Structure 1
């Protein structure tokens, strides 16, 4: 069991969590966005969000970009929080959906390998489409 937080620049985190709701209306994914209020406001809200987490429940944080401001803020705050955590940069709906599906019963360590496999599937899906089209032409 683990908690999920999605964070991003602008409304990406809100949008991807809203999209997840179409497939999983009862998901337990939270989000926080870096908005026009600036980085200091974001840092304060992120610190409050982390302070509200239960120490015994690991945290999986998805960010939009590696080394982007949301990533950097969580990378600075999490080590000081006392929480068990992992950060995954480059959130996508298939990866988030897989993490949310396993959230209630899987250990965070086990789900990370599954997420890597889901990412690979997404990357290679274009190759599968091309292969399928070439087989249809024969």
Structure 2
């Protein structure tokens, strides 16, 4: 199983995991890491390393972040040199649902590609989408 971590500004990651579990049920090998405005970043980085080890199921770990270039993303990217770790920025619920539905049975390369595609697919401006289909 591919491990799952969501690292975000504030408690967004915990809430995204809660929403994911609302849709798909309890998730194994899944953790959230919150980054607060006054946190010590080296302590947060060490926590992230611990959580990566905790969720590693032998198939790698994907770390989802809320925004590329933000502190959570930069902390996650600092772990990219480790084998089997990938980072996807711009996390949303459809992305997590797709990822979680595939992470037990598919290889890391396929899962990250499909998760990214699902995340993009479900970003829409409702009025434009409805006008195009209407």
Identify, as 1 or 2, the structure richer in helix: 1
Kindly provide the CA deviation profile for residues 92-128 of structure 1, in whole angstroms up to 9, marking residues without a partner as x: 0010111011111011111222123213321346333
1:30 match: 31
Unaligned 5+ residue runs, structure 1?
none
TM-aligned CA deviation for residue 55 of structure 1: 7.8
Q: CA RMSD in A?
A: 2.1
| TM-score between both structures, scaled by the size of structure 2 | 0.84
| TM-score between both structures, scaled by the size of structure 1 | 0.82
> Structure 2 CA distance, aligned partners of 1:106 and 1:112?
10
TM-aligned CA deviation for residue 5 of structure 1: 0.7
TM-aligned CA deviation for residue 47 of structure 1: 2.3
Aligned length: 131
**Residue 6 in structure 1 maps to residue 6 in structure 2:** yes
Which structure would you say has the larger Rg? Answer: 1
Unaligned 5+ residue runs, structure 2?
none
1:58 match: 60
* Contact map agreement 1:35 1:42 (CA 8 A) in 2: no
Q: For residue 56 of structure 1, give the secondary structure of its aligned residue in structure 2.
A: coil
